[in-house]
Amino acid sequence: MGSYRVTAPISVMVKENGTAYVLHTIPQGEIISVKEIPIDLNRYVIVNWDGKDALMFARELIIRAERTSVR
């Protein structure tokens, strides 16, 4: 789908130690990449941030990030 610049901090869940999901916050200004946004914005979307896959609600991506051409 493309790259997005975070315009307001977004909470995401990152899998750590192969088992547990831990809550992290992506700060404003970070670039994240997204493969696909689900039609239902209440579902999770997988994003790549800082070399890690993270889960966030699709609605948060639409509200708190803007599309960018930076990769």
Taking only the tens place, the pLDDT of each residue in 14-38 is 988 887 889 999 999 999 999 888 8
* The predicted structure's pLDDT at residue 71: 61
Query: Is the confidence at residue 3, as pLDDT, over 70?
Result: yes
The two structure tokens encoding residue 2: 């493309």
Range list of H helices, 1-71: 58-64
Q: What single-letter amino acid sits at 50? A: D
Structure pTM? 0.85
3-class DSSP assignment, residue 69? coil
Q: Which of 17-21, 36-40, 43-47, 67-71 has the highest mean pLDDT?
A: 43-47
3-class DSSP assignment, residue 58? helix
Homologous superfamily of the 2-68 domain (CATH): SH3 Domains (2.30.30.40)
The two structure tokens encoding residue 21: 């999901």
